[in-house]
Amino acid sequence: MSSRQQIIHAAIDVINEKGVHQYSLANVAARSGITKAAIFYHFKNKNELTLSLIKYTIEMYEQILAEEFEKLKDSSRYPFTESYLNGNLRQLSDDALIGLHGALLATAVSGDVDSGYWDAAYAEDFERMASEVGAEMAELLRYAIDGMWHAKILNIKESEGVTKEQVVQKLKQMLG
């Protein structure tokens, strides 16, 4: 693993273990075993490291969607839309990705970094779903998935007797 990758993984660990409020270059350096000066060799500042984390998160997200799309591309009437639902459901069971999504969302909302990368990922997903199921259904699906993410990030319990899997199945039924 390169030093740059080691720093990125250490930053992920710091966010997941200590929370976004303890996400600092000093803590990343301590976690990675690399000096703070070495971090500055790879990243101009904390914002640049955070942007790298956002890009990493989006890459992981897109990889999962691509894997799900490959499974469905020949058998589904709405392959991207179902891939979106399945991929998000899959990610919602990955504690490391949940923690990273939550922390980076908090960073983006704080205004510390440009949210353009998130915006672009959202827009691309929306356009692909809208081309399959229409804009209103795409927006409904996106809001439902966003609600699941926010509930998971905020640690809100699922309603008794209703699972995320059941909700996703109902959403798929609504597609027709």
Express each pLDDT in 52-83 by its tens digit: 888 888 888 899 999 999 999 999 999 999 99
Strand locations in 41-147 (E): none
Q: How far, in Å, CA of 65 to CA of 86, rounded? A: 8
Q: How far, in Å, CA of 11 to CA of 113, rounded? A: 16
Average of per-residue pLDDT across 119-142: 95
Average of per-residue pLDDT across 115-127: 87
> What was the pLDDT predicted at 106?
65
For the cut 70, the answer to whether the pLDDT of residue 109 exceeds it is no
For the cut 80, the answer to whether the pLDDT of residue 154 exceeds it is no
Q: How far, in Å, CA of 122 to CA of 139, rounded? A: 11
Q: Is 116 helix (H, G, I), strand (E, B) or coil?
A: helix
Average of per-residue pLDDT across 135-152: 92
**What's the token pair of residue 30?**
């301590």
**What's the token pair of residue 9?**
């993984």
